[in-house]
Structure 1
Amino acid sequence: MSVPQLPLALRYPPDQRLDTFVHAPAGTVEQLLALATGAAAVRTDNVYLAGASGVGKTHLLLATCAATEAAGRRAAYLPLLAAAGRLRDALEALEGNDLIAIDGLDVIAGNREDEVALFDAHNRARAAGVALVYAARDIPDAIGLGLPDLRSRLGQCTRITLSPLDDEGRREVLRQRAQRRGLVLEEAALDWLLKRVGRDLGGLTALLDRLDRASLAAQRRITVPFLRQTLGS
């Protein structure tokens, strides 16, 4: 069966690039860029991203795909939530890419058919020199995978653990993403927001999208009074 390609704008949003990720663990961007470009001199093992929801795993997967295509190579992003129960067909449809980013391993944990399909695809990819980047909420032994051989293969990947952003990290994300949208966030407005928003990267992006639309519609700068009016007290 064929797997439809995701629209370019959805696959690679402008905010989600390797160089826009805030406070990545040391060496993370270099490792993912090496996979994306296929740089022989610095080629790393396949990468496994672990971390709670909202820490930026999907950001890094999409950013790695974008970097791969920017290097003139082919990439595919596969959210397992959309492929659970038919994973073998979905993975076979992605063969021929230079890099495959697989998001949400937790979704297939305990589904033996899907686990076997992923194990087989992992082996084929390694044999063909295809780079793999995985993402899950925790390490392979802690997400409920039932197939020991799959856990072993995933355990051989370079593991990168992502943590929630601290206050300074959230401030930097808001500041950078506002700048890319042409929004001016006063320090007082940043302080107000940081007291009221969570650490989830997706939530921060959605919030700025909302503020961007609201400020454009109202033709107003983003000040504390505007935030109170738009978001409530």
Structure 2
Amino acid sequence: MKPGAPGERPTPASPGPQLPLALRYPPDQRLDTFVGAAAGAIEQLQALADGGSGDWLYLAGPGGVGKTHLLLATCAAVEASGRRAAYLPLAAAAGRAGDALHALEGNHVLALDGLEAIAGNRGDEVALFDAHNRARTAGSRIIYAARATPDALGIGLPDLRSRLAQCSRIALQPLDEQGRREVLRQRARRRGWVLEETALDWLLKRVERDMAGLTALLDKLDRASLAAQRRITVPFLRQLLGG
């Protein structure tokens, strides 16, 4: 299947006033704050963000391993370099991916999260295939993220599977205990408080392994600590979280 000539579309409106970088992309989610990436992965993402690499990237891994963190971090790095980026969770665009992708054309980098959300939807698959080809022609770049490799996603359009398989692949794995410990330490430091080893030990026996769970927990602890004007200690954790 070859891409057809794109139909005429209205010229995208000029972007309005830009939000500060920290509001668009959370400060915790930066390339240099990611813990547990495979060797060379952060360098690949930074090169794509800087415009210095021709590789398109495909992040593969189960839920909670940090795919969204890396997509948002790459977008933040793109914008820090003075270029434009956009992030699209495909679950929010399922069934109308064509309109969503057209609306985001003109960005230097497009980060597409959750490819599995459109797998098996013929219209969405064709729309993504066409968007992929248009981005290539325009010199833009796309970074994809999904829970599985292209062949294991259930995508029905062979040409789309082929395009996705041509991307350089970064495999992500769940954090081990040491990795989770480092995430908690880093995020506590950025919030201005020290997480004592005894408190870390207590938390690591009780918290979820995934990045989203860790982030939500640190946000909750930060708010509670500020409200109570208390340090994060084991007694405080027991009071707040129970057990």
Q: After TM superposition, is the score higher than 0.5? A: yes
Equivalent-residue separation in structure 2 for 1:112 and 1:11 (angstroms)? 31
Report how far residue 171 of structure 1 moved.
0.2
The aligned amino acid for 1:231 is L
Alignment of 1:206-225 (within 5 A): 206-225=216-235
Report how far residue 9 of structure 1 moved.
4.8
1:5-25: CA deviations, max 9, x gaps?
996555300000000000111
1:163-200: CA deviations, max 9, x gaps?
00000000000000000001211100000000111211
Report how far residue 128 of structure 1 moved.
1.2
Equivalent-residue separation in structure 2 for 1:131 and 1:178 (angstroms)? 34
1:20 to 10, 24, 33: 33
Identity of aligned pairs, percent?
76
Question: TM-score with structure 1 length normalisation?
Answer: 0.95
1:88-108: CA deviations, max 9, x gaps?
111111111100000000000
Does 2:133 match 1:131?
no
Match of 1:160 in 2: 170
Find the residue that maps to 2:86 and give its secondary structure.
Answer: strand
Equivalent-residue separation in structure 2 for 1:137 and 1:183 (angstroms)? 34
Equivalent-residue separation in structure 2 for 1:36 and 1:73 (angstroms)? 9
Match of 1:66 in 2: 76
2:48 to 31, 35, 42: 35
Cα distance change, pair 10–50 in 1 and its aligned pair in 2 (3 A): farther
Equivalent-residue separation in structure 1 for 2:201 and 2:25 (angstroms)? 29
- What stretches of structure 1 move > 4 A for 4+ residues in a row? 1-10
Q: Contact 1:31–1:44 at 8 Å: present in 2 too?
A: no
Match of 1:188 in 2: 198
Q: In angstroms, what is the RMSD of aligned CA positions?
A: 1.8
Match of 1:205 in 2: 215
Unmatched 5+ residue regions in structure 1? none
Equivalent-residue separation in structure 2 for 1:147 and 1:223 (angstroms)? 54
Equivalent-residue separation in structure 2 for 1:11 and 1:49 (angstroms)? 21
Match of 1:151 in 2: 161
Match of 2:126 in 1: 116
Unmatched 5+ residue regions in structure 2? 1-9
1:62-85: CA deviations, max 9, x gaps?
000000000000000011011111
